[in-house]
Amino acid sequence: MPGLAPGDSAGGGPDSVNGTLVPYSSDSHVSAIYPLRHGLNPPISRVSVSWGRGNSLRVSVFRQPDSDPKSDGEVGGKVVEVTLGKSRDGEISDAQWRKIAYGSVSPFALLQSRKNSTASLSRMQLSPSPYHLEWWEYVMEYSKDIGSLLGDPKTALATLIEDPNEVFPKKVEEPSSLKAAWELMEMFYVDKLSQAWLPERLVDWLADYNSLISIDLPTVHSKLVEFQNQIVTLQVIEDDPRYWDLISSALAVGWLEIVVKLLRLHGSYRLDQLGRRETENGLVEAVAVLISKMPRMRPAIDAGKIGECFKAKPDFVKAWERWRAQITKLDSSAFWIQCDHRQTREGLKNMLQIMLGNVDVLCSSTCHWMELYISHFLYIRPFTAGLESMYSLAQKCFRLKHTSNPHKLMRLMIGILGENNEVVLAECSRGFGTWMVAHAIELLTAGSNEADILVHEEREDLGGISLEELHRLVYAQLLSSHLLTWQIAPIYLTSCMRQGMGLLEILLLKQPVQENQMLLKNLEICRLYELDGISSHLMEISGMYHWKHGRKGCAVFWLQQAHDEVRLSGIASQLFDSVGKSISGESFKQWEGLIELLGSEGQLAGGLDFLHKYRDFKKCLQHAESRKDADAARQAVESLMSLMRNASTPQRFWLPILYDAVKLLSWDEGPLINVGQTNLLLNKLQELSVARLRPDFVEAELPTQALNHVRYSLATNLGRAILGEL
């Protein structure tokens, strides 16, 4: 999606900068080539291009109409779809995106319904029952449900690998920045319980996602991974300056268990050297123990991680001061002089400086500003609270370790710390896509009235809709562009008060109805949202589609379902054309199914119910003829009369019916048709003779003498009937 360049957004308006509303970057003009595999033999005479679903083009390729009879096996044309552009985000594949989309439907729908019931409760001015959860707790539940869809790197981190050389635990699943962003939003906006120990939450967050925060520059994580690959080749690990460098870095960002593990790789622990390097080993171990005793202000700590947890601030302060005092004591200990190994001595001293919160050492031990930021929380300002002070600290760290091209996660972070909701929304949308922004709005508004007003305010420049609705509509558009996800879009559309239903109707009408299964899925959505009008319209479209493709039965069925009398009558005359030709004895079996479908009298059939009666008449006639059964014959007469009386019987069938009736007229056992009935038939015959003079009359395929034959039979019958009634 083209966006306004950041530079000229302030000026705005079409006349700013170079006069274009949406500036194009020149590199977007590179043409892309999409090969078409239509498999047709040349010559191709015509190509037509139209938009298909989403970002795909539908290309119809036609061959020259072939006059050569030899090549009649070949198709005359083909329609192929070309998908423009590829997956939206390299990090997450299309299939994964769909999985996330499917999975987020239920939590989203649940939260919306809870929102509605809470709103109706407050409208009725009822105080929510004391058993009800706070609103943020519902949002928290929603956030956890959604978060679990985005992958769970934590489970993998918790298991420390036993291999002593394996310092850094491998993650089974690569963390995704989408998940990282989601957790950030949850941490800052929803989780009220973690507000008191937000700095420690950030420490954990960085431990999980450190690998993501920088693309080109090194991070502590990337340095660790690199070092781990070389660890096996190192003979004396403590001689390597990188070893000490890494230990300090890991300590600075608070990965204590890794630091302790690395320290225990120190050569002085080896049995053959323990005797000679006793003091050195003592110092290493003392530092390791100090590290593992570090007080943390948090309720609990994950298994495998170290530190002593304190929930209450006074307890923590006491422990913190005691711990600091121990470090200072160790720092000024006399043992350092006895330590011969220079690197060990300097390395350990450096670590003590980190723990004492020496800004310069922290700054040189960390790579990224976020790492420096975290180290401030750990060693300098463990009591930082409130977004304002967190923001000013972040700005300070940002100045010290400036990066020109901040990662999208860092931009989001700055937006959150700066308490700028508009920036947060914009960064969500820019960096993480429409799914993120449509779902993260719930987090943003969970505890903040300001954000609530921002996203729910109806905006003139958006045509009267709110930001929330806008983002949901955009997401629904994205969903509807895919064959498999369009069925989810209604959930989001119906949560949009202003334009949702309108767009839903358009969406439903645009779905292909060629296949019955797809149509039925579509109709089911219509049923759920009570869109009866759309539903009949879809059935009409489908009916006409089947009709055009020769599936007359299906067509009649759908048009009947749609109660579309007009179209049914329209196709009736075409159907009668083929009936006129084929309806005779044996071939009637083909019609049987269709006639059954049309149902009996009283059901909507648009004149097609004639077929039903005609079939009944034919059946009776056959019976009467084959068995010489007078009862069947009388029944046949009844059907004959009802056919001739009924206005829906097409005129073109009058003569064939009367011609069939000759057998009844010349019934051996006396006249079956009385005077009145005969007169009616004669009248019909007269009407027919007049109608034949009209140019649009369709002649039935009957022997040329048929008319005279009928007239003669009727006259004879009239005579017999008059005699019989005397």
Partner 1 sequence: MAVIGIPQTQIHRLSQSKYVDSIRWLPSVSPLQQSAIVAFFDTDADSPSLEVHSLDQESKTLDLISSWVPPSRISSLKCTQAFAVASTISGSLHVFSATEAQDPSSAFRSVVAADGKGFHVGRIAGVDLMDGGSNECVSVGEDGRVNLVRVLDGSYRKVFDGNGLVSYTAVKWASPTEFVTGGCGFGLQWWDLRRPGSAVAQFKGNLEKGRTSGIIHSIDVHPSRKHTCLAGGSAGTVFAWDLRYQHQPIILSGTSNDTAAQPLSESEVWEVQYDSYTKSSMNNFSSSKLLPAMFCSEDGILGVIDQGEEPTELLAEPCAINSFDIDRQNPSEVICSLEWESIAIVSRP
Binding residues for partner 1 (CB under 8 A)? 81, 93-96, 98-99, 102, 105-106, 482-484, 487, 515-516, 520-521, 524, 527, 546, 549-554, 557, 560-561, 589-594, 596-597, 599-600
Secondary structure class of 541 (helix, strand, coil): helix
User: Computed from CA positions of residues 493, 496, 501, 505, in that sequence, does the dihedral angle turn out positive or negative?
Assistant: negative
Give min distance, CB of 581 to partner 1, in A.
12
Helices (H), 511-608: 516-528, 532-548, 552-561, 565-582, 588-598
**Is the CB of 451 or the CB of 544 nearer to partner 1?**
544
Contact predicate 206/434, CB 8 Å: no
Secondary structure class of 78 (helix, strand, coil): strand
Residue 182's closest CA among 172, 174, 191, 173?
Answer: 191
Give min distance, CB of 614 to partner 1, in A.
14
**Is the CB of 115 or the CB of 552 nearer to partner 1?**
552
Question: Is residue 48 within a helix (H) or strand (E), and if so which, with residue range?
Answer: strand 44-51
CA–CA distance, 506 with 520 (Å, rounded to integer): 17
Q: Which residues of 394-425 are buried (b: 16+ CB within 10 A; e: fewer)?
A: beebbeebebeebbbbbbbbbbbbbbebeebb
What are the C-alpha distances in Å from 560 to residues 28, 548, 597, 607? 52, 16, 10, 12
The pairing of strands 44-51 and 56-63 is: antiparallel
CA–CA distance, 685 with 718 (Å, rounded to integer): 14
**Is the CB of 102 or the CB of 135 nearer to partner 1?**
102
Give min distance, CB of 542 to partner 1, in A.
12
CA–CA distance, 688 with 697 (Å, rounded to integer): 10
Give min distance, CB of 588 to partner 1, in A.
9
**Is the CB of 304 or the CB of 593 nearer to partner 1?**
593
Secondary structure class of 674 (helix, strand, coil): coil
Give min distance, CB of 46 to partner 1, in A.
24
Give min distance, CB of 483 to partner 1, in A.
5
CA–CA distance, 535 with 483 (Å, rounded to integer): 19
Q: Which residue has the tokens 């230990």?
A: 247
**Is the CB of 320 or the CB of 545 nearer to partner 1?**
545
**Is the CB of 97 or the CB of 188 nearer to partner 1?**
97
Give min distance, CB of 557 to partner 1, in A.
4
**Is the CB of 418 or the CB of 580 nearer to partner 1?**
580
**Is the CB of 60 or the CB of 343 nearer to partner 1?**
60
Give min distance, CB of 11 to partner 1, in A.
42
Give min distance, CB of 179 to partner 1, in A.
17
209, amino acid identity = Y
Helices (H), 628-674: 630-645, 654-665
Rg over CA atoms, the chain: 42
**Is the CB of 392 or the CB of 584 nearer to partner 1?**
584
**Is the CB of 144 or the CB of 318 nearer to partner 1?**
144
**Is the CB of 120 or the CB of 578 nearer to partner 1?**
578
Q: Which residue has the tokens 């209450």?
A: 312
**Is the CB of 487 or the CB of 678 nearer to partner 1?**
487
Name all contacts of 53-57 with Cβ < 8 Å and 24+ positions apart: 53/481, 53/482, 53/483, 54/83, 54/481, 54/482, 55/83, 55/84, 55/85, 55/481, 56/81, 56/82, 56/83, 56/84, 57/81, 57/82, 57/84
List of residues 6+ apart from 165 with CB closer than 8 A: 228, 231, 232
Question: Is residue 83 within a helix (H) or strand (E), and if so which, with residue range?
Answer: strand 77-83
**Is the CB of 364 or the CB of 477 nearer to partner 1?**
477
List of residues 6+ apart from 646 with CB closer than 8 A: 610, 613
Give min distance, CB of 160 to partner 1, in A.
24
CA–CA distance, 230 with 238 (Å, rounded to integer): 14
Give min distance, CB of 88 to partner 1, in A.
13
304, amino acid identity = G
Contact predicate 379/402, CB 8 Å: no
**Is the CB of 21 or the CB of 95 nearer to partner 1?**
95
Give min distance, CB of 30 to partner 1, in A.
24
Give min distance, CB of 589 to partner 1, in A.
4
Give min distance, CB of 597 to partner 1, in A.
5
Give min distance, CB of 433 to partner 1, in A.
18
**Is the CB of 81 or the CB of 278 nearer to partner 1?**
81
Secondary structure class of 345 (helix, strand, coil): helix
